[in-house]
Structure 1
């Protein structure tokens, strides 16, 4: 319910977004981000990962071994600015990240309420509420790709990706993804993308010993090994994998028509790379999180306006766009409900507990953190990955 309460007003605004003038949009935009900042801060301690962040950061417990260095430095700065108040630090975090996301959305012609509502449907309970490190990494990568579409500066993209990877190492996937997308020949791009990602997936499935060996020398492989140990590889294929498979088949079959839109060529290819990666997420669970960066772009493309009007490029105008809209809506719904299919999900569908005051009360938040840690981890410390 928490996410739906935030999403429903956004969807209503999305229906008439093009009718507002610049001044009205600015007021609505500021209100939306302000509400989301307060809402997510007050709801934040309903999860589990926050208690581990709280325990490790306030006790300064092996932070650089548990988390990426960029995030450690960033969150320590937030704690310093907040007078070591964890709740205020979280408020500052959401203020910074949502403001950065909002600023980059203003650079493009897009249906902003629709973009935000879709983002909340897919990532509200997972990425935005629980996985702070990857959330900021996703927003940085999103900004970098928007900039890259205009500047085509590969050095800037690499530097930006390294900064994002210092928040969450999974962001490094963007560099090889962009290199794949730069392949000029359409058929070679598709063949190399499918074969290289499949080869990497089979390496993870059948080469666990090699991954364990590489983990001794490389932080990224250390993370991969952790994820594999936490979620052992098993051959599964869920509904989201089926939806993604349909997209991959559709892209390959209609690739000539899709890639004729030069202004969307790079973005469409990025989405295709992410879709191929997601195909293997049923067996290799952590690959689903790797695709978060690509889903950001998919939502962005779906909510883009045509340059000459305030009509979405993929607004329903024919049977093809009707099918695309139905497909996208189905994908959003499956993503939203997939969270609740997880029996270990910390937030139930009906949970509407807002800790508006408690999140800023150090004594109360410390008590809640101890309860959550004892319940979730059996009283033992652990790493948020």
Structure 2
């Protein structure tokens, strides 16, 4: 091979890739649009206040693997179709706090945990039920105090704090300086971060990854090799994860102090996708402890007078995780929110919260499991 061929052949390869990849990328951008930012949510307030949405605002968001989702907010900036007016006499009210998972990010409102729980409770209760969802991306750490205070002002019969392993990682960041818009959990700067951003925007890479990672037999082994990210399922827990649990316990204390002793508090746990995959398919969990984190969180919740509800127990054996999560994005999809709502409603009755116990019939599964 002549010397010039060492330069020409790589150029031919690059040109061929560009000729093929560019049209495919363009076509995928048309058929799989992407608009991740919810323009209604207000970020960047330097005070330790909760992130919130602009009142009476509406926006649309989408990831390539999911549908267009309308994010609409009531007059208080909460994602609810119920008005945030003072609670009506002879009615029941539930308030939900937490981050993007609590808010039902990327899920149509009617499929979200709040809406599904409301519909289940309306079928079980003889009193009207409304649900106010105060969740927003980034509302963990010190920001939970403001969320809890706002929730308590709504005079709810119970407050639900939704948490996941991802929230425990986010928790530390939220106790630092307030992140700028779109900068949550992004700590790297410079050309490496810019390269990652550009690659993350490639629909071709996104869809190739999606086709590979939607299968749990491919996804879980890759996740298990992701270092400290998966350490919450390895025993003994690393110092990082022990610290994250300590941060969560501090969050529970903050919420309890903000709402007082008289409002019942429920900690609602949602597993991460890899965790759910291992729980549904035990052969994927060899050498791991996918249920340990829930046990630790439940113990801390109960130590501070909160009840604990766990979506993990609602996942049917053999369920492919990509059927209840967005395979690439990692958030629960509508089917996943259905399981989360089941856990929430069951948790309200398992905890024997007075207002709901007095006015509602327990769901069949809970009635069968609860003594007396």
- Bucket of the pairwise TM-score, normalised by the shorter protein: under 0.3
Write 1 or 2 for the structure with the bigger share of helix: 1
Superposition TM-score, scaled by structure 1 size = 0.27
Superposition TM-score, scaled by structure 2 size = 0.28
Write 1 or 2 for the structure with the bigger share of strand: 2
**Structure number with higher relative contact order (C-alpha < 8 Å, ≥ 6 residues apart):** 1
